[in-house]
Amino acid sequence: MAKITDLSKSRYCKGVQCPKILWLEHYKPEEKADILPESVLENGNRVGDLARRYFGDYSLVEFSFDKNVMTAQTALFIASGSENVAEASFLTEDGLYCAVDILRKNEDGWDIVEVKSSTEVSDIYIEDMAFQYYVLTKCGVNVKRVYNMHINNKYVRRGELDLKGLFRLEDYTVKVIEKQSAVAENIESIRSYISVDDEPARDIDVYCEKPYECAFKGYCGRHLPEHSIFDLAGIQARTAYKRYHSGIISFEDVLANAKELKLSDKHRRQIEFTLNDLPDEVNAEKIKAFLDTLTYPVYHLDFETYQQAIPEFDGVSPYQQIPFQYSLHIEQEDGSLEHREFLAKEGTDPRRALAEQLVEDIPVRVCSLAFNMSFEKTVIKNLAELFPDLSERLLDIRENMHDLMIPFKDHDYYSKAMMGSYSIKYVLPALYPDDPELDYHNLDGVHNGSEASDAFAAMAQHSPEEIAVIRQNLLKYCGLDTYAMVKVLRKLKEAAGE
């Protein structure tokens, strides 16, 4: 029977971030929000599976809810002379447990290899490795070196996957040994913190955001007023917590200390509109000037992209943005619309087919429009570099692109409901509140960009019937993105009196 003072490496790392996470997980699990995207877990699993092959043959300790079964299997592999043991498990008598991603034989001792799907090594990973070293040495293992194996984002796939190129192996032995006395102290303080039955007091701070956003933020921040310093658009977490701890918590507090805080016009506007319930502010002249830069027909364009931790196609790097879909609403001056779209076949490199159709769908020297165009421009630039024969036409689209976000970014159209933001997520519902046609919640399966990425990345693993449904969901989602732009442009025209 597990005890609250038992610590695995993930529980230890949570305890280092904030011991109250462990207390709440035990006593108030119902307060935990679900915040980890599926793609993070999926990427982590795939990278872990592949990394095991880095050193050649290996023995895998099968997962069991009974840790003693895993430690016994580990001991058997070690005794039978296995050189590489994946998920090698160790449990101390006082309930410290870890499964080492790869335990690798090194002469008369062993190396710990911790695998991460990220492209760099953060401080919490070093804590994680230090805990593993502590547990293994307590179990009598002679640990020689400690390595972190992570993704090399400079790797470009050419033909078969080259594991030595895909992964970077960095030696953290010295840093990990330096941390050993701190690990012992951390274990003691975490254990004494979580052993009390009454809820321990702990105020919110930057550790609620880093190294991971805490799933209990809603619970621990329940004392905050409806509009707090944390709601100021774009405020840095460190700055917000500093203000909070100095007693500047509500929007009223911020206004009262505006001079000392050097409050920006943007934040002042956000606060005043919120507190005073002000009507929309419209600068018709400037909006008209923006509209005059557009020529008809206008090509409303939006891409969807996804990333692969392990590149599946030639010429792709880990975590490179790969466009797989676009939606295009072509709007004539009289308001009539034509819709075109592209959605790649699952499991194929989508880039060439997408680029070819894009240059067919958008003629040269026409006005294309994107919301926050830097993203669309980067996608097109990358495609132009990849396909020199299409480069001229692709770059023509890029050069003639306009940004629908500008009037909102410049606050030429501002509404209280935008809450200081000019992202489409805030702008659209502010312009069209309660419009079911424009409500992404009413879509099936895919409601945002990250769900679209996950859906496409996983599509090839589904049955043909399921694929048909997912494709429909993706097309509806991306189609709504550009239709929303059409509606936003209409609102701007109304505001400019056109």
Binding stretches for ligand SF4 (CB under 6 A): 18, 20-21, 24, 202, 204, 207-208, 214, 216-217, 220
The residue (of 237 and 255) whose beta carbon lies closer to ligand SF4 is: 237
Question: Which tokens in the block code for residue 427?
Answer: 């702008």
CB 325 within 8 A of CB 341: yes
Residues 6+ apart with CB under 8 A from 137: 143
The residue (of 216 and 342) whose beta carbon lies closer to ligand SF4 is: 216
Residue 400: helix, strand or coil by DSSP? Answer: coil
> What is the Cα–Cα distance from 368 to 401, expressed in whole angstroms?
5
The residue (of 176 and 204) whose beta carbon lies closer to ligand SF4 is: 204
Q: How many helices (H) and strands (E) does the chain have?
A: 21, 13
Rounded to a whole number of angstroms, the minimum distance from the CB of residue 243 to ligand SF4 is: 17
**207-208-210-214 Cα dihedral, nearest 10 degrees:** 140
CB 364 within 8 A of CB 399: no
Question: Which tokens in the block code for residue 49?
Answer: 């599976």
Rounded to a whole number of angstroms, the minimum distance from the CB of residue 187 to ligand SF4 is: 18
Rounded to a whole number of angstroms, the minimum distance from the CB of residue 155 to ligand SF4 is: 35
What is the residue whose two structure tokens read 């943007």?
266
Rounded to a whole number of angstroms, the minimum distance from the CB of residue 33 to ligand SF4 is: 10
The residue (of 88 and 208) whose beta carbon lies closer to ligand SF4 is: 208
The residue (of 103 and 214) whose beta carbon lies closer to ligand SF4 is: 214
> What is the Cα–Cα distance from 493 to 498, expressed in whole angstroms?
5
Question: Which tokens in the block code for residue 225?
Answer: 């007023």
The residue (of 220 and 369) whose beta carbon lies closer to ligand SF4 is: 220
Residues 6+ apart with CB under 8 A from 373: 401, 402, 403, 405
List, as own/partner pairs, every contact residues 28-37 make where C-beta atoms lie below 8 angstroms and the sequence separation is at least 24, other chains included. 28/199, 28/219, 31/216, 31/218, 31/219, 32/215, 32/216, 33/215, 33/216, 33/217, 33/218, 34/215, 35/213, 35/215, 37/450, 37/454
Rounded to a whole number of angstroms, the minimum distance from the CB of residue 184 to ligand SF4 is: 22
The residue (of 208 and 316) whose beta carbon lies closer to ligand SF4 is: 208
Rounded to a whole number of angstroms, the minimum distance from the CB of residue 207 to ligand SF4 is: 5
What is the residue whose two structure tokens read 């640990």?
143
Rounded to a whole number of angstroms, the minimum distance from the CB of residue 23 to ligand SF4 is: 8
Count Cβ atoms below 10 Å from residue 186 Cβ, excluding itself. 21
The residue (of 142 and 189) whose beta carbon lies closer to ligand SF4 is: 189
The residue (of 217 and 490) whose beta carbon lies closer to ligand SF4 is: 217
> What is the Cα–Cα distance from 268 to 258, expressed in whole angstroms?
8
Buried b (16+ CB within 10 A) or exposed e, 272-282: ebbeeeeeeeb
Rounded to a whole number of angstroms, the minimum distance from the CB of residue 244 to ligand SF4 is: 12
Rounded to a whole number of angstroms, the minimum distance from the CB of residue 267 to ligand SF4 is: 24
The residue (of 223 and 262) whose beta carbon lies closer to ligand SF4 is: 223
Helix, strand, coil shares of the chain as percentages rounded to 5? 50, 15, 35
Rounded to a whole number of angstroms, the minimum distance from the CB of residue 25 to ligand SF4 is: 9
Q: Where are the beta strands (DSSP E) in 271-348?
A: 281-282, 298-306, 322-331, 337-343
